[in-house]
């Protein structure tokens, strides 16, 4: 019995020694692997290892296409344009709100029709900001220039900017609407916006439907936006110095149907235009084509056309 007790004591002593040696070994191992941290370091480590906030990805711009490669975007509360299908975007240095200022504000989801030019050669945007102004670039946005067209008119409703060539730019605007009448003006520049001159206008105060030039000499102004009964278009053959009212030879079956002519375009040896139905048109999804052989003074009906096939160059 005494012998068995002595063996138990020796066994416990050996076990205790082994446990003590194991603890010493483990302490030395971990001290060499990772130095002990001070309380301050431990606190800092705890702070740095908190879960990082999830990064919010940048907004992907969804462009409004102008051509296969060219588009613009109004996202991020600014106007941006791309020439390579969205791979790179350039910010246009204009206040987005100014693009929709005036008597007509558009839907503000897309630029107002005819108020801009965006192609491989030009980027130009017409807007109102205490005057009719144009911001434009002729070298794919490397340099932007601003041009005051006029500050002598009230806020605008209808607006259009167009470049027929490098040295013939024009702007058509309307303003001061009261019920079914308003004022209108055409401005032309021959020095890329350095100076603008105002042309004469037709003797009417009806609401402008559209207007523009076919050549530097031949231009038109179309009127009537509120239930027009017949087309009204005035033509100039001297760059806006004088105007005459055009005549349309309308088949009787189309009386009161086709009433809003678009700006003409050159077709072979004559002018052609597409005429739309009025706001209350119920003749189906059809438009009418007319041609003129006397520079826009008289127009002859040619055929009905579908909108997808129209050759309107406005």
Average pLDDT per 10 consecutive residues for the chain, totaling 314 residues = 53 58 56 50 41 47 94 96 94 97 96 97 97 94 91 97 97 96 98 98 97 98 93 98 98 94 97 91 92 98 82 52
- Predicted pLDDT at 56: 35
Note down the domain range covering 38. Answer: 2-48
Nearby residues of 15 by Cβ (< 8 Å), 6 or more positions away: none
- Predicted pLDDT at 37: 47
- Predicted pLDDT at 7: 56
Burial label for 183, CB within 10 Å (0-12, 13-18, 19+), is middle
Please name the residue that has the structure tokens 């711009």: 61
The CA distance from 189 to 184, in Å, is 17
At 41, is the secondary structure helix, strand, or coil? helix
- Predicted pLDDT at 24: 60
In a domain, 264, yes or no: yes
- Quick one: DSSP state of residue 304? E
- Predicted pLDDT at 23: 63
In a domain, 157, yes or no: no
The answer to whether 73 and 67 have CB atoms below 8 angstroms apart is no
Among 31, 48, 65, give the residue marking a domain's end. 48
The terminus-to-terminus CA distance of the chain in angstroms comes to: 119
In a domain, 242, yes or no: yes
- Predicted pLDDT at 232: 97
- Predicted pLDDT at 109: 94
The CA distance from 108 to 97, in Å, is 9
- Predicted pLDDT at 207: 97
Q: Exposure pattern of 226-240 as b/e (b: 16+ CB <10 Å)?
A: eebeebbbbbbbebb
Tokens of 37: 């941290």
- Predicted pLDDT at 60: 83
In a domain, 291, yes or no: yes
- Predicted pLDDT at 6: 58
Question: Residue 11: enclosing H or E segment and its boundaries?
Answer: helix 2-33
- Predicted pLDDT at 172: 98
- Predicted pLDDT at 59: 67
At 153, is the secondary structure helix, strand, or coil? coil
For the chain, how many structural domains are there in total? 2
Cα–Cα–Cα angle for 54, 57, 63, nearest 5°? 165
Cα–Cα–Cα angle for 192, 161, 128, nearest 5°? 100
In a domain, 253, yes or no: yes
């Amino acid at each position: 019995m005494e012998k068995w007790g002595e063996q138990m004591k020796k066994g416990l002593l050996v076990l205790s020694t082994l446990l003590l040696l194991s603890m010493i070994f483990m302490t030395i191992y971990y001290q060499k692997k990772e130095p002990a941290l001070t309380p301050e370091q431990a606190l800092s480590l705890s702070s740095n290892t908190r879960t990082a906030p999830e990064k919010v990805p940048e907004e992907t711009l969804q462009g409004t296409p102008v051509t296969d490669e060219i588009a613009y975007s109004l996202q991020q509360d600014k106007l941006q344009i791309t020439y390579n299908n969205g791979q790179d975007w350039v910010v246009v240095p204009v206040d987005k709100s100014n693009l929709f200022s005036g008597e007509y504000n558009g839907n503000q989801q897309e630029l107002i029709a005819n108020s801009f030019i965006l192609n491989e050669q030009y980027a130009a945007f017409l807007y109102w900001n205490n005057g009719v102004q144009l911001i434009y670039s002729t070298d794919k946005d490397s340099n932007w220039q601003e041009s005051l067209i006029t500050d002598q008119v009230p806020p605008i409703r209808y607006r259009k900017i167009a470049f027929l060539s490098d040295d013939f730019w024009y702007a058509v605007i309307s303003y001061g609407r009261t019920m079914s009448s308003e004022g209108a003006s055409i401005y032309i520049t021959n020095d890329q916006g350095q100076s603008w001159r105002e042309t004469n206008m037709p003797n009417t105060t009806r609401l402008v439907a559209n207007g523009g030039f076919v050549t530097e000499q031949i231009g038109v102004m179309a009127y009537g936006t509120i239930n027009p009964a017949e087309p009204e278009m005035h033509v100039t053959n001297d760059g806006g110095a004088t105007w005459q009212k055009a005549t349309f030879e309308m088949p009787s079956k189309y009386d009161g149907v086709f009433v809003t002519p678009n700006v003409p375009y050159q077709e072979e040896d004559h002018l052609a235009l597409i005429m739309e139905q009025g706001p209350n048109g119920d003749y189906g999804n059809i438009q009418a084509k007319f041609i003129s052989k006397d520079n826009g003074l008289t127009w002859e009906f040619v055929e009905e056309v579908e909108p997808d096939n129209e050759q309107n160059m406005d």
